[in-house]
Amino acid sequence: MTKNFYITTPIYYPSAKPHMGHAYSSIVSDVIARFKRLDGYKVEFLTGTDEHGLKIQRAAEEKSIDPKIFCDEISKTFRNLSNTLNLSNTDFIRTTEDRHIKSVQNLWKILEEKNQIYLSKYSGWYSVSDEAFYNEDEIKEENGINISINSGSKVEWLEEESYFFKLSAWENKLLKFYEENPKFILPNSRRNEVISFVKSGLKDLSVSRKTFSWGIKVPNNKDHVIYVWLDALTNYISALNYPDTKNLKYKSFWPADIHMIGKDILRFHAIYWPAFLLAADLTPPKRVYGHGWILSGEEKMSKSKGNILDPLEIVDKYGLDPLRFYLLKEVSFGNDGSITQDKLESCINSDLANNYGNLCQRVISFNEKNCNLIIPEKNNFEKEDLNLLNKISDNINSLRSYIDNQELSSYTNFIVDRLFDANKYFNDQEPWKKKSDIMRLNTIVYVSLEIIRKISILLNPIIPETSLKVLEVFNLKLKDINFESIINHESLKSNSKIKKIDILFKKIEKND
């Protein structure tokens, strides 16, 4: 039976070009998608752009461009970023596509039929930047401007006719759902935040707007457009051909295994989205993971501070795999983390060049000099050999569980530790002193090559390009590798040829 797995990134606002925060969400999702594929799953991996709403309409107006043309342009930069980041996404959705509009209008009709939506009047605070409504106690005045306490963005007073979703009716059902699905929201700290917000009482949610037009029309009342978050969240099922819930794609992939998001949009995903779905008799996703914030140095990225990190610039300067590796290794997953040039350069030098690069280089050059680029015959494994090899194979299920619980830092640190072990093994075994005991020398080389193979498989989801370069040494391509094979200590065929390898990561000269 095929095992299916569905992971999504947020769909990003094409109001400005992508920055490092967007790249981060997409890269961590890609790591999980690639791991699951390696582990035999059929993976659907969705990303895209969220193109409606006042925020986009205003951004287009500022440039005096039609909003659709404006979105066409910037959405393209997000699509290109997926290529630059080597994302393995299987789909890219835009909320201006027909498949999505049909899906949202259908969901709306079902909510109306089920008596979950009613027409009334909204008066309250709204942030266009967050596209979110805020309660009186969630805003404050700063320098004569009203802002959201949480996001710091400006809020405006809004009074207009609006449709409402009966969110208040879902309070207890949501709490029950969180209790029955303790891992629905991760990490736990964020789950607690959501639960206490819901416990403090939910008000009905305004789900349409009348004073602007850039959105999906409410069926049967063309004066209203559907609230951009009800529109946006539905993308996750539009991409599976909703409303056709009988089609193979929907049946195979819904409910989603993970919606990967940043902590800023947790409330929408962990409260509104399951409420909409439950109200429409659809199953909520299995997991919403709210990761932390990428800071530029120690500060939040912002246009006014001029410290927005551009992923393209970093990739241009340092390469993609170093950036991917850095984000996984140096940001404790779930928490905020920062990028500085200095830390990135140190990470490239120590973990990639000195640890992984050096291991591959020295073992393969030693093989070249002593075994003519042939995988040698091995003798029986000794205790040290098995210690090294078993540390990976004995942990196969912990590694799976790290990924399944999104403990991405544990996964990455495990690999870094194995790289240290492997370098230490090669040093301690001193094969260069074993020329008189060729059987032992051969076994050490065999074990070292095996460990390079295993570690490269573990690294593949994080640094796909470089790890494949290394696996190419053994003539292995992506289609030939799978996660389960890290158990096997004798996967490499003795007497077969291996290839030489170029320097994997250049060390960076630092000024300190």
Query: Which CB atom, from 204 or from 231, has the smaller least distance to ligand ME8?
Result: 231
* The pair of three-digit structure tokens given for residue 193, joined into one six-digit string: 């935040």
Among 67, 187, 215, 262, binds ligand ME8 (CB under 6 A): 262
CA 209 to the chain's CA centroid: 31
Size of the site for ligand ME8 (CB under 6 A): 19
Query: Which CB atom, from 291 or from 454, has the smaller least distance to ligand ME8?
Result: 291
Among 112, 138, 244, 264, binds ligand ME8 (CB under 6 A): 264
Cα(207)–Cα(163) distance, rounded to whole angstroms?
A: 6
Greatest distance between any 2 Cα atoms in the chain: 89
Query: Which CB atom, from 82 or from 235, has the smaller least distance to ligand ME8?
Result: 235
Do 308 and 351 form a contact (C-beta atoms < 8 A)? Answer: no
Do 471 and 453 form a contact (C-beta atoms < 8 A)? Answer: yes
Query: Which CB atom, from 289 or from 425, has the smaller least distance to ligand ME8?
Result: 289
Query: Which CB atom, from 155 or from 265, has the smaller least distance to ligand ME8?
Result: 265
State the pairing for strand pair 185-186/208-209: unpaired
Among 101, 218, 301, 504, binds ligand ME8 (CB under 6 A): 301
Cα(280)–Cα(272) distance, rounded to whole angstroms?
A: 12
Give me the 411-450 binding string for ligand ME8, x by CB under 6 A, dash otherwise: ----------------------------------------
Please tell me whether residue 10 binds ligand ME8 under the rule CB under 6 A. yes
Cα(237)–Cα(253) distance, rounded to whole angstroms?
A: 9
Query: Which CB atom, from 71 or from 451, has the smaller least distance to ligand ME8?
Result: 71
Stretch that binds ligand ME8, among 4-12, 37-45, 157-165, 406-414 (CB under 6 A): 4-12
Minimal CB distance residue for ligand ME8:
21
State the pairing for strand pair 205-206/156-165: antiparallel
- Residue 475 CA: distances (Å) to CA of 447, 454, 468, 497, 499: 17, 14, 10, 9, 8
CA 259 to the chain's CA centroid: 9
Residue 337, classed as helix, strand or coil, is strand
Q: Can the peptide bond before residue 187 be classed as cis, meaning omega within 30 degrees of 0?
A: yes
Give me the 219-258 binding string for ligand ME8, x by CB under 6 A, dash otherwise: -------------xx-x-----------------------
Please tell me whether residue 333 binds ligand ME8 under the rule CB under 6 A. no
Cα(304)–Cα(474) distance, rounded to whole angstroms?
A: 50
Q: Which of residues 12-31 bind ligand ME8 (CB under 6 A)?
A: 12-13, 21-22, 24-25
Please tell me whether residue 476 binds ligand ME8 under the rule CB under 6 A. no
Give me the 26-65 binding string for ligand ME8, x by CB under 6 A, dash otherwise: ------------------------x---------------
Stretch that binds ligand ME8, among 261-269, 410-418, 442-450, 453-461 (CB under 6 A): 261-269
Please tell me whether residue 504 binds ligand ME8 under the rule CB under 6 A. no
Q: Which residues pair with 208 in a beta bridge?
A: 226
CB of 293 to ligand ME8, least distance (A): 4
* The pair of three-digit structure tokens given for residue 108, joined into one six-digit string: 């709306």
Structure letter (DSSP) for residue 299: B
CB of 84 to ligand ME8, least distance (A): 17
Cα(76)–Cα(501) distance, rounded to whole angstroms?
A: 36
- Residue 363 CA: distances (Å) to CA of 453, 454, 507: 12, 14, 19
Cα(299)–Cα(277) distance, rounded to whole angstroms?
A: 37
CB of 217 to ligand ME8, least distance (A): 20
CB of 212 to ligand ME8, least distance (A): 17
Cα(5)–Cα(13) distance, rounded to whole angstroms?
A: 25
Q: Which residue has the tokens 């573990």?
A: 458
| Closest listed residue to residue 90, CA positions, set 82, 78, 101 | 82
CB of 168 to ligand ME8, least distance (A): 22
CB of 337 to ligand ME8, least distance (A): 9
Give me the 126-145 binding string for ligand ME8, x by CB under 6 A, dash otherwise: --------------------
CB of 202 to ligand ME8, least distance (A): 19
Please tell me whether residue 293 binds ligand ME8 under the rule CB under 6 A. yes
Cα(165)–Cα(384) distance, rounded to whole angstroms?
A: 64
Question: Footprint of ligand ME8 on this chain (CB under 6 A)?
Answer: 10-13, 21-22, 24-25, 50, 232-233, 235, 261-262, 264-265, 293-294, 301
